[in-house]
Amino acid sequence: MAASRKPASPSTRAQSNAPKEQTGEGGELHQLAAPGGPVLTTQQGVPVSDDQNSLRIGERGPLAMEDAHFREKIFHFDHERIPERVVHARGYGAHGYFENYAPLTDITSADIFQRAGERTPAFVRFSTVAGSKGSSDLARDVRGFAVKLYTKEGNWDIVGNNIPVFFIQDAIKFPDVIHSVKPEPDREFPQAQSAHDNFWDFVSLTPESTHMLMWVMSDRAIPRSFRFMEGFGVHTFRFVNDRGESHFVKFHWKPKQGMQSVLWDEAVKINGADPDFHRRDLWNSIEQGDFPEWELGVQVFDDAFADSFDFDVLDPTKLIPEEVLPITRIGRLVLDRTVDNFFAETEQVAFCTQNIVRGVDFTNDPLLQGRNFSYLDTQLKRLGSPNFTHLPVNAPKCPFANFQQDGHMALVNPVGRANYEPNSWPGDQRGPREDPARGFQSFPAEEVGAKPRLRASSFADHYSQARMFFRSQQPIEQQHIVEAFVFELSKVESPAIRERMVGNLRNVGDDVAQLVADGLGMTTLPPASPTTVEINDSLAESPALSILANPPESLAGRKFGILVTDGASAAQLNALTAAIHDAGAIFELIAPKIGGATLDDATQVAATQKLGGGPSVLYDAVAIIASKLGGQQLAAQPAAKDFVNDAHAHGKFIGYTPGAQPLFDATGLTALMDAGYVSLGGKAAPKSFVRTCAALRFWARLVPPAGA
């Protein structure tokens, strides 16, 4: 990165122990100790001058390892939980491979990108962040998207999320943001939820989190499936080629089956009906041969672009819009094998951001620098030994040799006399040696500057991209963001925290702040929170940030729920299931009894779910194929009424035969039937219904009338 940016002004430096809340580095607000209050110290009792910024070389330089306060804080945080992960505890993984499209020798020497069509083994773990191992899959949360690539020159871990930005700019604040979102320590609830005072107190005092909050309150935080969400490397990395030339790179995983999320009401009900919904979906898709697939895309750029871009590319709370810098797709990731044992593989897999390979390197992103320091320490605590790399899921699949020895549960030790180097023993007795030609070499970036604790002035704009994200959403998506803020802040007991957060939202836009304030019952709009730099209101909208603006190309991988009764038409059922199969989708049969139903041709069909155990929230579209008597019987069953009421309320497409009419009458839906209800009568009707369902939802049903 060119070092041409202006140094931070004195006003951006940390100002600790002031008697009131004030603006600190980069414009973030800190609730400072009141006069006479306790002074923050290290565990050794040493007063802390700055708890907001880690020590670095130069304004935008790398982390200094001598930062004892950061080391102690992260060390203690990393060791808080045993044995499950402190964060990302609830996860699910699968094996697969990465296939490279074309040689990338001009930009990177990474072996994985040198040959077209070559497949590299991979292990991927998806996870939530805040909840414990026993929490539910559909929490509103960031999703971890961690990929371990077993390359021929060592393991490369891309430890990312399904959101391209993060809450904080400096890793020294990671313990604080996670402490705030975890169950409150005096009561140990709420579980896997951010809807409580501690979280919103912290983020309302940390304006750099505003962009991330827009994402987490959006539909991105409640994905329909791991298969239907994007993944991001979050940070800016480097590609380095054989000539030692460096380019900056950001990593993106694009789902081949498109993006899709659920509504909040669906998420709540899915968690009750099937708390393992995402796990089950991934397992079933792989077992059925419908292998999840993503394309790896990269944004590659140089120093000139970095210096011309509106924001600092080292700031992990910012992104580079695809419309500004298009994504080049360079390979595909396919998951084709479930694990043999969950504990041995998914639970014991250890991802570390510092696991990179020749041809890939780090930048001075302060959050990445801190993660590199933290992850190895975390794995030592969690897995109990420095030999966790001996576990099969963590071990390289290429030859490896070193002089590391002993330790708890060592499975591999050096053979022979030599356990050090250099040594003078002959031939094979001397052991492994360096390889200057093929060995990893760090890019020789020049670092210059003082050794301060500060936040770079180029990191100070916390609202412009948050505003861009909101404006880039479709109206129904914007409505969901507002509703999410209202729901979460309604759970906050302190009015001051609610008001402070709405004050921050005014910097995103008075429109969104007013809607949230109205939803909270605020009679007046609080003043906008102070900003350090002027908000850039000229950023162009980025349609790539909207899920609805980028619909899937087909129904592949989606699931239909078909409610069937005794005496239902076999011809209509067969025609519908054939149309679903032809569209690349799948279906489950739901019946009043798990034994299934006897159709009008005396065929007995088994049910996948019993009515009440297979609610409509589990499906992307539903159909009711009922006989006249069967429809009358459904009309008397509360579970059947819930099935269609929820399907209607969630904007699902509903296919039906005439026998279903008594159920619609009993629920009052007859008067509400719209174009999202499709009759299955007629030979061509099933195929037409399935084609209609490609839109995934009948959104017109969910958009409030104008002026409402």
The catalytic site residues sit at 88, 161
**CA gyration radius, the chain:** 27
| 351 alpha-carbon distance from chain centroid | 16
Q: What are phi and psi of 3, to 5 degrees?
A: -100, 45
DSSP 7: P
Cβ(675)–Cβ(651) under 8 Å? no
Task: Report the half-sphere exposure of 336 (CA within 13 A, side-chain side).
Answer: 11
How many angstroms separate the CA atoms of 526 and 513, rounded?
9
Residue holding tokens 């306060």?
69
Give CA separation, 424 vs 75, 430, 433, in Å.
39, 7, 12
* DSSP string covering 20-62: S-EE-GGG-EE-PPPTTSPPPB-TTSPBPS-SS--BBSSTT-P
Question: Hey, what are 657's tokens?
Answer: 């035969």
How many angstroms separate the CA atoms of 1 and 58, rounded?
13
Which one-letter amino acid corresponds to residue 477? E
Count the helices and strands in the chain (H runs, E runs): 18, 20
DSSP 180: H
How many angstroms separate the CA atoms of 475 and 466, rounded?
16
Cβ(374)–Cβ(78) under 8 Å? yes
Burial 614-643 (b: 16+ CB within 10 A, else e): bbbbbbbbbbbbbbeebbbbbbeeebbbbb
